Amino acid sequence: MAEIHYRETFAVLRNLMEKLYKRNPREWRKTGQPSGEAIVALVFDRPHDWRFRELDNQIGAQAIQLAFSEDYRGDRVLAFIVGLATMTHAAYNDKLELFALDELIPQKLYNCARNYEAAAWKLKHDRTARGEPFLLGNETDGSVKNLSFEREFGKLVAYQDTLARIAAEKNHRTVVRVIQGVATVVFLPI
């Protein structure tokens, strides 16, 4: 079951990256790659250790913070997705394959879900000094509303929360729940 959640989570992350490049083509153009699809393929179809020179080898929350840093001139989509993906890997004990006997730590999965929520909040609310979003996500202006990013983040949160609950019940563990206020969006350790 954990393997299914893992695969589905990475399918959603891939989809998010594709959507972000469609809404933010200026980001993939910073890389020298011919298209956003080419970068998505590099990230999701080739083996690597999730450390990218373009991100100064930053992972997790540090990579996500790059995406929302005024000083960062690189590909913000890459930074955002690498941050989410490496948090996910950490929640699954940095394993690429999961087996029935692998024990997952429910608190890591729960924290990962909260970090997805924090990342979604940053995507929606963080702005440059000029008041522009660092990355375009949902479209809420105009006659047609597009909330597809919220739906994708909802899936990510649901996968991790469900698996955290299953792992907690299986191992007779308790998950410490964390409530964050809007003004205090922080990434939890995994």
Apex 164 CA angle, 159 and 169, nearest 5: 130
Split at pLDDT 50, 70, 90, the class of 28 is very high
Split at pLDDT 50, 70, 90, the class of 171 is confident
Q: Which residues contact 79 (CB under 8 A, 6 or more apart)?
A: 55, 58, 63, 64, 66, 67, 72
CA distance 111 to 118: 10
**pLDDT tens-digit map of 32-81:** 999 999 999 999 999 989 999 999 999 999 999 999 999 999 999 999 99
CA distance 35 to 25: 8
* Per-domain boundaries in the chain: 2-184
DSSP-assigned letter for residue 139 = B
